[in-house]
A = this chain, B = another copy of it.
């Protein structure tokens, strides 16, 4: 495979490249084949909580982030065995409209592809050691959410609940 399924990168995210990496991987005919590809892009929004955002800076603890992505992949495969996942997160300074995270899931059927994709983004938000700093007119602030705990069963169930399975 010429393209990594999981990555933390300073480069612009390319959804097509992620999709390609999944579809290539199953051309060996071992399964039903891929019938559904769901994907998600998180973009830098120009407004947050009522104020205008100029840019965002993302910072990651990269090796732990990669381990978190591997964990998310395992969780997805455990729940949706025929489903594949690719997940790239961008770091560095991002302009409005740029993608910070790209997730692609591929599955024989669409219910699984959608569910796995939604689950993956929820889990990224919960446990990926990635922080963002928001730059606005006159200042900047680190956005802090919830404590990252990959073993928190409640968080995991919450992510699962959002998939509507």
Listed in ascending order, the chain A residues whose CB lies under 8 Å from chain B are: 15-16, 19, 23, 27, 29, 31-47, 96-97, 99, 108, 110-111, 113-114, 117-118, 121, 162-164
Contact = CB atoms under 8 A, between A and B. Distances in A.
Contact of A40 (B32, B42, B110): B110
Contacts of A118: 110, 114
**Chain A interface SS verdict (over half):** mixed
B47 A36 contact: no
Which interface residue of A31, A39, A113 has the most chain B CB atoms within 10 A? A39
B33 A45 contact: yes
A36 B32 contact: no
A43 B19 CA distance: 12
Given A15-B19, A16-B15, A16-B16, A36 B41 contact: yes
Given A118-B114, A121-B110, A163-B164, A39 B36 contact: no
Contacts of A97: 23, 27, 33-34
A40 to B, nearest CB: 6
Contact of A39 (B27, B39, B43): B39
A38 B47 CA distance: 19
Contact of A114 (B27, B40, B110): B40
Nearest to A163: B164
A45 B41 contact: no
